[in-house]
Amino acid sequence: MTSQVSKSGRRAGVVVNYGSLLLILAALYVATGGGLNLLSGLIGGLSLAVFIISFIMVHARTRLWHMTHSRGDRLDERQMMVTHEALRFSYIYFTIAILVLLLCFELLREFLAGGFNPPLIPVFAALIYLAHTLPSSILAWTEKEI
Protein backbone atom coordinates (compact mmCIF):
# COMPACT_ATOMS: atom_id res chain seq x y z
CA MET A 1 0.00 0.00 0.00
CA THR A 2 1.69 3.17 -1.17
CA SER A 3 0.43 6.40 0.25
CA GLN A 4 0.83 9.52 -1.84
CA VAL A 5 2.06 12.14 0.57
CA SER A 6 3.06 15.56 -0.69
CA LYS A 7 6.68 16.64 -0.54
CA SER A 8 5.92 19.21 2.17
CA GLY A 9 4.00 16.55 4.11
CA ARG A 10 6.93 14.15 3.91
CA ARG A 11 9.32 16.90 5.01
CA ALA A 12 7.12 17.72 7.98
CA GLY A 13 6.97 14.01 8.83
CA VAL A 14 10.77 13.73 8.78
CA VAL A 15 11.11 16.76 11.07
CA VAL A 16 8.45 15.40 13.45
CA ASN A 17 10.07 11.94 13.45
CA TYR A 18 13.56 13.15 14.30
CA GLY A 19 12.22 15.82 16.67
CA SER A 20 10.30 13.21 18.62
CA LEU A 21 13.44 11.05 18.72
CA LEU A 22 15.32 13.96 20.30
CA LEU A 23 12.50 14.47 22.81
CA ILE A 24 12.64 10.78 23.75
CA LEU A 25 16.39 11.11 24.34
CA ALA A 26 15.90 14.28 26.38
CA ALA A 27 13.21 12.63 28.51
CA LEU A 28 15.49 9.63 29.10
CA TYR A 29 18.38 11.83 30.19
CA VAL A 30 16.18 13.96 32.43
CA ALA A 31 14.74 10.80 33.96
CA THR A 32 18.18 9.28 34.59
CA GLY A 33 19.62 12.54 35.89
CA GLY A 34 16.92 13.54 38.32
CA GLY A 35 14.83 10.47 38.68
CA LEU A 36 11.73 9.58 36.74
CA ASN A 37 8.97 12.09 37.36
CA LEU A 38 5.53 12.47 35.87
CA LEU A 39 6.50 15.20 33.41
CA SER A 40 9.49 13.37 31.90
CA GLY A 41 7.48 10.15 31.72
CA LEU A 42 4.58 11.93 30.01
CA ILE A 43 6.85 13.71 27.53
CA GLY A 44 8.73 10.50 26.82
CA GLY A 45 5.55 8.48 26.33
CA LEU A 46 3.89 11.02 24.06
CA SER A 47 7.10 11.43 22.09
CA LEU A 48 7.33 7.68 21.66
CA ALA A 49 3.78 7.54 20.30
CA VAL A 50 4.47 10.43 17.88
CA PHE A 51 7.76 8.78 16.92
CA ILE A 52 6.09 5.48 15.99
CA ILE A 53 3.22 7.13 14.11
CA SER A 54 5.54 9.44 12.16
CA PHE A 55 7.81 6.51 11.27
CA ILE A 56 4.84 4.62 9.88
CA MET A 57 3.60 7.66 7.94
CA VAL A 58 6.95 8.71 6.44
CA HIS A 59 8.98 5.54 6.04
CA ALA A 60 6.59 2.57 6.02
CA ARG A 61 3.51 3.78 4.14
CA THR A 62 5.49 5.51 1.43
CA ARG A 63 7.69 2.38 1.19
CA LEU A 64 10.80 4.56 1.13
CA TRP A 65 12.43 2.52 3.87
CA HIS A 66 11.74 -0.63 1.89
CA MET A 67 13.22 0.94 -1.23
CA THR A 68 16.47 1.93 0.50
CA HIS A 69 16.79 -1.54 2.03
CA SER A 70 15.97 -3.50 -1.15
CA ARG A 71 18.45 -5.46 -3.18
CA GLY A 72 19.63 -3.75 -6.34
CA ASP A 73 18.11 -6.30 -8.68
CA ARG A 74 14.63 -5.47 -7.35
CA LEU A 75 14.88 -1.79 -8.32
CA ASP A 76 14.65 -0.16 -11.71
CA GLU A 77 17.38 2.10 -13.04
CA ARG A 78 15.85 5.34 -11.75
CA GLN A 79 15.24 3.87 -8.30
CA MET A 80 18.83 2.62 -8.20
CA MET A 81 20.13 6.08 -9.06
CA VAL A 82 18.10 7.98 -6.46
CA THR A 83 18.76 5.34 -3.81
CA HIS A 84 22.49 5.49 -4.49
CA GLU A 85 22.48 9.29 -4.14
CA ALA A 86 20.44 9.11 -0.93
CA LEU A 87 22.83 6.54 0.53
CA ARG A 88 25.82 8.62 -0.48
CA PHE A 89 24.50 11.77 1.17
CA SER A 90 23.20 9.95 4.23
CA TYR A 91 26.58 8.42 5.01
CA ILE A 92 28.24 11.82 4.64
CA TYR A 93 25.75 13.42 7.05
CA PHE A 94 25.81 10.44 9.40
CA THR A 95 29.59 10.51 9.69
CA ILE A 96 29.59 14.22 10.46
CA ALA A 97 26.77 13.80 13.01
CA ILE A 98 28.61 11.02 14.84
CA LEU A 99 31.88 12.91 14.98
CA VAL A 100 30.21 16.11 16.23
CA LEU A 101 28.21 14.17 18.81
CA LEU A 102 31.26 12.34 20.14
CA LEU A 103 33.18 15.60 20.27
CA CYS A 104 30.37 17.28 22.22
CA PHE A 105 30.16 14.42 24.73
CA GLU A 106 33.91 14.47 25.23
CA LEU A 107 33.97 18.26 25.67
CA LEU A 108 31.12 18.07 28.18
CA ARG A 109 32.87 15.32 30.10
CA GLU A 110 36.19 17.16 30.05
CA PHE A 111 35.09 20.68 30.98
CA LEU A 112 32.03 20.28 33.16
CA ALA A 113 32.58 19.92 36.87
CA GLY A 114 30.67 17.33 38.82
CA GLY A 115 31.70 14.26 36.87
CA PHE A 116 29.26 14.54 33.96
CA ASN A 117 29.21 11.06 32.53
CA PRO A 118 25.93 10.40 30.73
CA PRO A 119 25.04 6.89 29.55
CA LEU A 120 25.64 6.54 25.84
CA ILE A 121 23.41 3.52 25.15
CA PRO A 122 20.32 5.66 24.30
CA VAL A 123 22.39 7.79 21.94
CA PHE A 124 23.83 4.72 20.25
CA ALA A 125 20.32 3.30 19.82
CA ALA A 126 19.23 6.61 18.25
CA LEU A 127 22.27 6.53 15.96
CA ILE A 128 21.40 3.01 14.80
CA TYR A 129 17.90 4.25 13.99
CA LEU A 130 19.37 7.27 12.20
CA ALA A 131 21.67 5.06 10.13
CA HIS A 132 18.71 3.03 8.91
CA THR A 133 16.27 5.87 8.25
CA LEU A 134 18.51 8.66 6.98
CA PRO A 135 18.57 7.39 3.36
CA SER A 136 14.78 7.19 3.19
CA SER A 137 14.50 10.55 4.96
CA ILE A 138 16.71 12.10 2.29
CA LEU A 139 14.47 10.58 -0.39
CA ALA A 140 11.38 11.86 1.42
CA TRP A 141 12.95 15.32 1.59
CA THR A 142 14.22 15.55 -1.99
CA GLU A 143 12.02 13.49 -4.32
CA LYS A 144 9.04 15.16 -5.98
CA GLU A 145 7.14 11.91 -6.42
CA ILE A 146 7.51 8.53 -4.86
Which pLDDT score is estimated for 1? Answer: 43
CA 61 – CA 56 distance, rounded (Å)? 6
State pLDDT tens for residues 89-139.
999 999 999 999 889 888 887 787 666 677 889 999 999 999 999 999 999
CA angle 40/45/46 to nearest 5° reads: 100
- The string of pLDDT tens digits covering residues 61-76 is 988 888 888 888 888 8
pTM of the predicted model as reported, rounded to 2 decimal places: 0.85
Q: If we measure between CA atoms, which residue out of 8, 17, 96, 116 comes closest to residue 60?
A: 17
- Counts for the chain of helices (H) and strands (E), in that order: 5, 0
* In the chain, where the domains are located: 7-66+75-142
